[in-house]
Amino acid sequence: MVTSTTDELKAMGGVSGPNDQALRARAKAVIPGGMFGHLNMGHMPADYPQFMASGVGARVVDVDGREFVDLMNSWGPVILGHRHPVVEEAAARQAALGDCLNGPSERMVELAERLVGVVSHADWAMFQKNGTDATTLCCTIARAATGHRKILVAKGAYHGAAPWCTPVEAGTTAEDHANLVRYIYNDLESVRAAAQSVAGDLAGILVSPFRHDAGFDQELVDPTFARGLRQLCDETGAALILDDVRCGFRLHFGHSWQPIGVEPDLSAWSKAIANGYALAAVLGNDRYRAPVQTLFTTGSFWCSSVSMAASLATLDVLEREDSVATMVAKGTQLRDGLDAQARHWGYPIRQTGPVQMPYLSFVGDDDRAVGTLFAASALRHGVYLHPRHNWFVSAAMTDADLALALSATDAAFEELREAHVEIGPPAS
């Protein structure tokens, strides 16, 4: 809820450039609604371009040539920066041999070995294309191993967009969700109650490394909660499934609960593992090796080698350059800078989640109206961020990128102030 005059707010808004507008019109004719999914800008301020042209390092350029410091990084896949030269070179070298063949190449074995070496709980790996493929396969493996049906998932958590897990009910059936039971993140009692409610039919507990629900302040995991899940799985024989699709390799060079010493049985990966190349993975421990061999899942491109070569290169750079530390350092500077700016301009904000996956909200801005104005203004001043979803800091961010990002957010705070934007009481 924003308190300001309509004219002042209107004056703040813009629209994306003429090339973007022209493409939106063409898209509307041949794509339902002009776009779909999480990259649909239909619910974002009109300033946001729907169509992008290019990216390099921490910068992206839209189809009208507007360049932005990128704080979304393709919603997670880009971790080392766009078109990282080491990754691109590895991908091109593999592409010159072959990508999708009658079998995998040596890259698959190398990558499985590498992941097993890096991720503490993993004894084996399998590969897919989508994060949803990986979370789905984890559930299937848990069911095959236990002979049980029920999977516990946190209320509000996002684990993909297949009918069993999409947050929107349209087109799905009651049967699609029949085997999910909800618990509250970080509330061990709610998990125990959920497990009890399906005692004898519990296959697994699916959990994110931290609570990163879109539209809400983020919540780090309580290590006691994580340990409690592990214990509950040990007691019941259920699989502990860590959905590391969004966080994987951003929080730790390994799975995201390694630092707190809690080992899942299965983990789901995608997004950043190949720096933007389409790849997903399921990692598991030896208890689940035999059950995997009883099931059948596959895809036409699951053995393609270019994305695996890209992943191997990505892992090399992540390790060699200690990219997690870089992202933490840059994320900390970003958070500190934003805090100082908010204080300076007199806007109460909350920054939650890990610094390398920042989430910013304005206190009292329940409908995200102020946050949305802020994001649109920041975009116009040169930084691409999001008002209702966590951001992603890449390891490519230079001091110059950070300075530009902070100068854009400072200008956005100033613009809010000059337009007399106040966070008003909610409409009643």
Residues 239-298 that bind a second copy (CB under 8 A): 245, 270-271, 276-278, 284, 288-298
**Residue 177 CB neighbour total at 10 angstroms:** 16
Binding part of the chain for a second copy, among 32-40, 311-319, 340-348, 419-427 by CB under 8 A, reads 32-40
Binding status of residue 11 toward a second copy by CB under 8 A = no
**CB of residue 27 to a second copy, shortest distance in Å:** 5
How far apart, in whole angstroms, are the C-alpha atoms of residue 138 and residue 154?
A: 16
Count other C-beta atoms under 10 Å from residue 174's C-beta.
7
**Choice from 4, 21, 120, 179 touching a second copy (CB under 8 A):** 179
Kind of pairing between the strands at 280-284 and 59-62? unpaired
**221 vs 385 by CB, closer to a second copy:** 385
Using only the alpha carbons of the chain, give its radius of gyration.
22
Q: Is 388:374 a contact under the CB 8 Å cutoff?
A: no
263-291 burial code (b ≥16 CB/10 A, e <16): bbbbbbbbbbbbbbbebbbbbbbeebeeb
Nearest CA to 292 out of 134, 145, 115, 111 is that of 145
Q: Which CB sits closer to a second copy, 124 or 253?
A: 124
Work out whether strand 59-62 and strand 359-362 pair parallel, antiparallel, or are unpaired.
unpaired
Of 164-172, 311-319, 345-353, 367-375, the segment contacting a second copy by CB under 8 A is 164-172
Among 65, 85, 163, 426, binds a second copy (CB under 8 A): 163
186 vs 305, which CB is nearer to a second copy? 305
* Part of the chain binding a second copy (CB under 8 A), chosen from 104-112, 207-215, 345-353, 420-428: 104-112
Per CB under 8 A, which of residues 117..156 are in contact with a second copy? 123-126, 129-133, 136, 139-144, 149
Stretch near a second copy under the rule CB under 8 A, chosen from 90-98, 228-236, 323-331, 350-358: 90-98
Q: Pick from 5, 11, 18, 39: which binds a second copy (CB under 8 A)?
A: 39
**Which regions of 197-305 does DSSP assign to beta strands (E)?**
202-207, 239-243, 266-269, 280-284
Over the window 44 to 63, marking each residue x when it contacts a second copy by CB under 8 A and - when it does not, the resulting string is -----xxxxxxxx---x-xx
Using rule CB under 8 A, residue 302 touches a second copy: yes
Task: Check residue 41 for interaction with a second copy (CB under 8 A).
Answer: yes
Regarding 21 and contact with a second copy (CB under 8 A), the answer is no
Among the listed residues 1, 27, 184, 260, the single contact to a second copy using CB under 8 A: 27
Q: Which of 285, 239, 272 is nearest to 125 (CA)?
A: 285
| C-beta closer to a second copy: residue 121 or 365 | 121
Q: Which is nearer to a second copy, 195 or 385 (CB)?
A: 385
Q: For a second copy, which residue of 121, 164, 308, 383 counts as binding (CB under 8 A)?
A: 164
How many residues sit in the footprint of a second copy (CB under 8 A)?
113
Three-state SS at 421:
coil
What's the rounded Cα separation, in Å, for the pair 204 and 242?
A: 10
Sign of the torsion formed by the C-alpha atoms of 200, 201, 206 and 211: negative
Cα 16 to Cα 44, 65, 145, 376, 424: the distances in Å are: 11, 11, 51, 10, 28
Of the residues 113, 235, 322, 336, which one makes contact with a second copy according to CB under 8 A:
113
Question: Which parts of 381-410 interact with a second copy (CB under 8 A)?
Answer: 384
Residue 7: CB partners within 8 Å, gap ≥ 6?
none
Least separation in angstroms between CB 381 and a second copy: 17
197 is a site residue for a second copy (CB under 8 A): no
